[in-house]
Amino acid sequence: MINLETPRKFRPLIGNAHQVAMNLLRPNSRKYDLAEHEYPKELDMLAALIDGLAESGQASGAGASGVRRPAEEEDGTGTRNGTHLASVLSILEMCWGDVGLLLSMPRQGLGNSAIASVADEEQAKRFAGVWASMAITEPGCGSDTASIRTTAVPDGDHYVLNGEKIYVTAGDRSDAVVVWATLDPAMGRAAIKSFVVPKGTPGMRVERLERKLGIRASDTATILLENCRVPRENLLGSPGVDADQGFAGAMATFDNTRPLVAAMALGCSRASLELTRDLLEQAGVQIDYDRPALTQSAAAATYLQMEADWEAAYLLTLQAAWMADNRRPNSLEASMAKAKAGRTGSDITLRCVELAGSLGYSEHDLLEKWARDSKILDIFEGTQQIQQLIVARRLLGKTSADLK
């Protein structure tokens, strides 16, 4: 059974992540928010440090790429606190510092989680150390992945990819892109596969970078694929089309990444809560945990409600990560965590801006930035509405065809 106390073995990792967030990410947060698309060079040293710790086995799970379970954890016995839980806890701390800078970390892209989720052992070794972004969204396809129109046509020892991908996080800076494409558009989700396309592959190019509301430190690219030839061995998972299984292999990526995005929302909103509490106390507002909220000021009651919402989202996120570590199906829990944390993070950061008044709305503090950053965390990796739809299907035993 899950223990809600922070595992002792992860406490040094969490402490180190918090120190990095406090001393590196938070001080550079405004700088790279204003200098949109400028690469944060300060991250190179940090990435090298994380790589060194990972190679020594001292930082398993320190980042988005740390979700692959070692073989010795696959016997299914006992209760394990593994790399999924470690990743969630460390990412929460890092995003207390800055979400955009965390998303700019070399070799910590969402594509790395896709590789860790679906790749076989040979692919995992071959792509070790590669910084991979993930390309799913298209101009005519957002949350409905069945509408993907980027095609992958077999041609000898290669697949030929054609299509356009938009809103690719770290799409310009990464070493490779995990592209979702369909082998047969007529077969819907069942024919969707993911391919690792290294940068510099003929036929793939970055068309433009988007200017955004938040996470401005992270580059967001539009990528064109025109007769882009990808080796067959770069297809992640099974090459066959199974109408019964659908694209379960590709969707396994989301079971890993949705708790990570939930952790990002938790980190950003916790930063807002902590600063807002300080500002309220400076204004003379006392928050008393021994008195009912209805007997306190409106500001204090609002703050208590936000803390309760944050705690609920936090526990759901821990549950989803813990289940993954213990080889339990967690699609339902991952979507619940993403839905709750995404909405809660956006609500908390906006309400903190309101409670802080002019200080919250100005650039005097980071509250307005956290409000902007948090919105994307309720959108990417599946919108609020999509998560609720997935939860409803799971609870009611419906398929995507039955419940749309």
> Is the predicted pLDDT of residue 354 greater than 70, yes or no?
yes
The answer to whether residues 83 and 209 belong to one domain is no
DSSP structural state of residue 175:
S
Q: Are 170 and 109 in contact (CB under 8 A)?
A: yes
**CATH number, position 284:** 1.20.140.10
> Could you list the residue range(s) of the whole structural domain that residue 192 is in?
132-236
**Does residue 241 lie in a domain region?**
no
Choosing from 126, 147, 182, the residue where a domain stops is 126
Same structural domain, 255 and 364: yes
In this structure, are residues 318 and 88 in contact, taking their beta carbons and an 8 Å threshold? Answer: yes
> Which residues are designated catalytic?
381
Single-letter code of the amino acid located at 386:
I
Question: How large a percentage of the chain has pLDDT more than 90?
Answer: 71
Segment 363-388 mean pLDDT: 95
Q: Same structural domain for residues 254 and 391?
A: yes
- The token pair at 273 is 């809560």
Higher pLDDT, 83 or 97: 97
Residues 268-315 have pLDDT tens digits of 999 999 999 999 999 999 999 999 999 999 999 999 999 999 999 999
Tell me what percent of the residues of the chain surpass a pLDDT of 70.
90
| Same domain, yes or no: 278 and 344 | yes
Whether residue 332 lies inside any domain: the answer is yes
191 in the same domain as 328: no
Q: What pLDDT sits at residue 72?
A: 43
Is residue 242 assigned to a domain?
no
The whole-number pLDDT of residue 242 equals 62
Find out whether 248 and 236 touch, Cβ atoms under 8 Å. no
Instruction: Please give the pLDDT value at position 73.
Output: 46
The answer to whether residues 228 and 299 belong to one domain is: no
28 is a domain residue:
yes
Residue 386 near residue 146, CB atoms below 8 Å: no
Residues 273 and 336 in one domain: yes
**Residue 229's CATH number:** 2.40.110.10
Is position 213 within any domain?
Answer: yes
Return the exposure string of 357-369: e unless at least 16 CB atoms fall within 10 Å of the residue's CB, then b: eebbeeeebbbbb
Q: What is the pLDDT of residues 240-270, one digit of tens each?
A: 776 545 466 566 778 888 999 999 999 999 9
Q: Is residue 154 located within the same domain as residue 200? A: yes
**For 183-186, which contacts have Cβ atoms below 8 Å and span 24 or more sequence positions?**
183/151, 183/152, 183/153, 183/154, 183/241, 184/241, 185/149, 185/151
CA dist list (Å): 48 to 12, 129, 175, 373, 401: 18, 11, 16, 26, 46
Residue with the larger pLDDT of the pair 239 and 105? 105
Task: Count up the domains in the chain and report the number.
Answer: 3
Among 126, 153, 182, identify where a domain stops: 126
Cα–Cα distance measured from residue 9 to residue 19, given in angstroms and rounded to the nearest whole number:
17
Say if residue 270 is in the same domain as residue 390: yes
Name the pairing type of β-strands 235-236 and 220-231.
unpaired
Q: Is the pLDDT of residue 71 over 50?
A: no
Confirm whether 402 is domain-assigned.
no
Q: What letter would DSSP give residue 36?
A: T
CB atoms within 10 A of CB 329: 11
Final residue before a domain boundary, out of 91, 126, 161: 126
Residue 53: band (very low, low, confident or very high) from pLDDT cuts 50, 70, 90: low
Q: What SS3 string covers 220-279?
A: EEEEEEEEEEEEHHHEECCCCCCCCCCCHHHHHHHHHHHHHHHHHHHHHHHHHHHHHHHH
- Tell whether 274 and 229 lie within a shared domain: no
As a whole number, mean pLDDT of residues 154-165 equals 97
Give the pLDDT confidence score for residue 48 in this predicted structure.
79
Of residues 138 and 48, more confidence is placed in: 138
CATH number of the domain residue 51 falls in: 1.10.540.10
For position 45, what pLDDT does the model report? Answer: 86
Residue range 10-37: mean pLDDT, rounded = 95
269 within domain boundaries? yes
DSSP 358-373: HHHHSSSSSHHHHHHH
Note whether 108 and 138 are same-domain residues: no
Tell me the two tokens of residue 14: 């969490």
Note whether 281 and 375 are same-domain residues.
Answer: yes
Backbone angles phi, psi at 332, to 5 degrees: -60, -50
For 115-134, what is each residue's pLDDT tens digit?
888 888 999 999 988 999 99
On whether residue 401 sits in a domain, the answer given is no
Confidence of residue 113 (pLDDT cuts 50, 70, 90): confident
